[in-house]
Structure 1
Amino acid sequence: MTTAQQPVRSGFGATSTAEEVIKGIDLTGKVAIVTGGYSGIGLETARILHDAGAEVVVPARDPERARAALKDVPGVEVEHLDLLDPASIDAFAEKFLASGRPLHILVNSAGIMATPLTRDARGYEVQFATNHLGHFQLVERLWPALVAAHGARVVSVSSRGFRFAGVDFDDLNFEHRPYEPFVAYGQSKTANALFAVELDRRGRAEDVRAFSVHPGTIIDTGLAKHLSDDVLRANGAMDEEGRPVRDPDRQLKTVPQGAATSVWCATSPQLDGRGGDYCENCDISPLVAAEDEDAWRAGAATPGVLGYAVDPELAARLWEVSERLTA
């Protein structure tokens, strides 16, 4: 079983920027939360939503750093939130709910990549805990505000990195298998995509719709800090002078291009009545047929999503496991 994954021919593409995809959309009176909204594509997402009229809240583990990064975006509200600390997530959500505001847009943009093996206080591997479980708990706690919006969208920033691994339900935390940073990253990014599938199924009756996105490869956002220059050069993402390579046709994007799909999923009327889809290049990605998987994996420029990342049965199983893990 998989989602439909039918492109809508949006008219945008790999070179589109967040500013371009939101042109003509007025978000006055809307409230948005953007995790990771003080660096990289999260910062650009927060800025664009704010400029379109939304009231934007940016939760941050280091509020002072966030305020400094957002100094040119006046009016953005910064609050404390640590995605690895369940009590912090609850406190942030309780404060937001106490404000009585609906939540129209939630962009789960914060994330880490290819870290050394580290575990949180619960013993959970930190890429899975940060990228998936923290956002899972945040959405569950903010659910009343999403429902109160009477038309909310949740955007889960995934990655083409899902190709590195599915979700290993038998060993989520690498207790019995060798730890490989990109396998752990791939598991967390698959989880991000599956989360959107089941969240959309559960939320559509309340008009809460969800999407996951691949923003592209943007190495100058801090996400790639655990990767050596040699690795980045070998993958064609950095030139010999240490500069990021920009080639949108190969998913090597600028920050404004990288934020475009998140903003499109969060705001575009082209997606009204839809949800649960994995998106890239400002459109819904096509499903890769099993017989085409090897060719797809070999071609970095070809849009698409593998079936295991959008499988409703796996998504429902992940939701149940995540509820147990986050109590």
Structure 2
Amino acid sequence: MTHKQHPLESGFTAASTADEVLAGIDLSGKNAVVTGGHVGLGLQATRALAKAGASVTVGSRDTGRAASALAGIGGVEIDRLDLLDPASVDAFASRYLESGRPLHILLNNAGIMAPAELVLDARGYEIQFATNHLGHFQLTLGLLPALRAAAGARVVNTTSGATRMSDIRWDDPHFATGYDGHLAYAQSKTANVLFAIELDRRCSEDGIRGYAAHPGIIVGTNLGGSMPVDRVRAMQLAMGLVDESGRPIIDPESGKKTPQQGAATIVFGATSPLLTDIGGVYLKDNDISPLDDAVDPNAQGADLIRSQNVVPHSIDPQSARRLWEMSERLIKA
């Protein structure tokens, strides 16, 4: 398979932070939207983009909580966005378009991870696929006029190395025949990558480039907020992410990063001049990830995070087109 997953030798490392990636980049006059930009990786990305001069709109279900988290950060506004509610997504996009502002950066960052039991949204869609992928797919389509108006825009989908665990379950994306929360999460993250690839193919001539950014394995975000606390702790111990006392183990070279380090690859995708003529790629450690042909879908625990490179099924162009068409049907249903 012909692919574009060739590292650039960017000069950054796995330990680089968002501020370091943005050093020397002036985002004055640029507009950004960050979903979930008040917590975890989104908060770090929002801070870094605003510090570099961007005007940032944060989409959040809880605007009061977002206002508290973002207090004191200049250049940031908050608007309500519930990715599980199609009407809320459309309303957010409409309000942004009505403002008349071009949109230079869209960070599709918000997400949930591995509920213990199957949860369906009001449409009957599995909640992780609906939130992590379909909500962002609908939002991006709604914001396309503003992205085109930027005459040079980037859309970055926050993905995960968990993509190696599952392709799209074409015949059962909503787990009607048996639920596995981790596989459902992996499917949604694979969808984030395929969406970025097809967006780039369809929209690059309009000046819109798509990227999927793997931030690393981050302890201390709220991503696992839908999981029981004891289950989260057990998973973190098994993966070597925390010690026996619960303190995070930080080792960027093995993918274990701080939120500031994790956000770096996201803002790298959003701003790096090295990517000016390149889109439709999976990013890792502030560079383009190499392709990993050796995939063990049954890897568990610490074995799962030994390689976080992109895998073939996540960048398959035929799958990317198929997912786009399926997603269009699902959001119109």
* TM above 0.5: yes
TM bucket normalised to smaller: over 0.9
Q: Specify the code of the residue in structure 2 equivalent to 1:189.
A: K
SS in 1 for 2:220: helix
d(CA) in 2 for partners of 1:295 and 1:23? 38
TM-fit CA distance, 1:243: 1.2
Q: Secondary structure in 1 aligned to 2:257?
A: coil
Structure 2 partner of 1:293: 295
Distance 1:71 1:133 in 2: 30
Letter in 1 for 2:79: E
- Equivalence for 2:92: 92
* d(CA) in 1 for partners of 2:201, 2:139: 18
Alignment of 1:244 with 2:245, yes or no, is no
Pair 1:91–1:151, CA change in 2 (3 A): same
Question: 1-side partners of 2:283 and 2:305: how far apart?
Answer: 15
For 2:99 and 2:233, locate their aligned partners in 1 and report how far apart those are by CA, in whole Å: 45
Q: Residue in 2 aligned with 1:181?
A: 181
Partner of 1:284 in structure 2? 288
**1:74 CA drift (Å):** 2.7
Hey, what's the Cα distance between the residues in 2 that align with 1:2 and 1:160?
Answer: 21
Residues 131-142 of structure 1 correspond to what in structure 2 (within 5 A)? 131-142=132-143
* Aligned residue number for residue 259 of structure 1: 263
How far has the Cα of 1:224 moved from its partner? 2.3
Identity of aligned residues (%): 53
* Mapped partners of 1:29, 1:78: distance in 2: 18
Q: Is the aligned partner of 1:126 residue 2:106?
A: no
Residue 233 in structure 1 maps to residue 242 in structure 2? no
Match of 1:21 in 2: 21
Aligned to 2:34: 34
- In structure 2, relative to structure 1, the CA distance for the partners of 1:293 and 1:163 (3 Å cut) is closer
Residues 125-162 of structure 1, C-alpha deviation per residue, up to 9 Å, x if partnerless? Answer: 00000000000000000000000000000000000011
Using the size of structure 1 for normalisation, the TM-score is: 0.96
Give the conservation status (yes or no) of the 8 Å contact 1:165–1:183: yes
Distance 1:314 1:2, change over 3 A: farther
Aligned mates of 1:125, 1:78 — CA distance in 2? 27
Show structure 1 runs of 5+ residues with no match.
none
Which letter does structure 1 place at the counterpart of 2:321?
A
- For 2:214, give the aligned amino acid: H
- For residues 66-215 of structure 1, what are the structure 2 equivalents within 5 Å? 66-115=66-115, 116-176=117-177, 178-215=178-215
Shift of 1:235: 1.1
Question: Which of 303, 322, 325 in structure 1 is aligned with 2:327?
Answer: 322
TM-score if structure 2 supplies the norm length? Answer: 0.95
Distance in structure 2 (CA, Å) of the matches to 1:136 and 1:80: 17
Deviation larger for 295-304 or 99-108: 295-304
More off after superposition, 242-251 vs 11-20: 242-251
- Give the Cα–Cα distance (whole angstroms) in 2 for the partners of residues 63 and 239 of structure 1: 34
| Match of residue 62 from structure 1 | 62
1:183-212 alpha-carbon deviations (Å, 9 max, x no partner): 000000000000000000011110100100
Amino acid at match of 1:77: E
Q: Which deviations, in whole Å up to 9, do the C-alpha atoms of 1:46-83 show, x marking residues without a partner?
A: 11000101010001000000000001313311000000
Distance 1:2 1:132 in 2: 25
- Superposition RMSD on alpha carbons, in Å? 1.5
- Asked if 2 retains the 8 angstrom alpha-carbon contact of 1:29 and 1:54, the reply is yes
- Farther-moved stretch of structure 1 (5-14 vs 296-305): 296-305
Q: Secondary structure at the match of 1:221?
A: coil
Could you say if the C-alpha distance between residues 276 and 182 of structure 1 is closer, same or farther in structure 2, counting changes exceeding 3 Å? same
Q: Aligned to 2:33, what secondary structure does the other structure show?
A: strand
- Corresponding letter in the other structure for 2:279: G
**Aligned partners of 1:29 and 1:55 also within 8 Å:** yes
How many residue pairs get matched? 324
Q: Which runs of 4 or more aligned residues in structure 1 lie more than 6 Å from their structure 2 counterparts after TM superposition?
A: none
Q: Flag the 1:238–1:209 CA change in 2: closer, same or farther, 3 A.
A: same
Distance in structure 2 (CA, Å) of the matches to 1:211 and 1:285:
11
- Equivalent residue for 2:311? 306
Pair 1:295–1:314, CA change in 2 (3 A): closer
Code of the residue aligned with 1:185 in structure 2: it is Y
How far the C-alpha of 1:299 sits from its partner, in A, is: 7.0
Instruction: For 1:122, give the aligned amino acid.
Output: R
Contact map agreement 2:132 2:192 (CA 8 A) in 1: yes
Amino acid at match of 1:59: G
1:316 deviation in Å? 0.2
Q: 1:232 to 1:299 in 2, by over 3 A?
A: closer
In 2, are the aligned partners of 1:83 and 1:130 still within 8 Å (CA)? yes
> What letter is aligned with 1:137?
Q
* CA displacement at 1:228 relative to structure 2: 2.9
Letter in 1 for 2:253: D
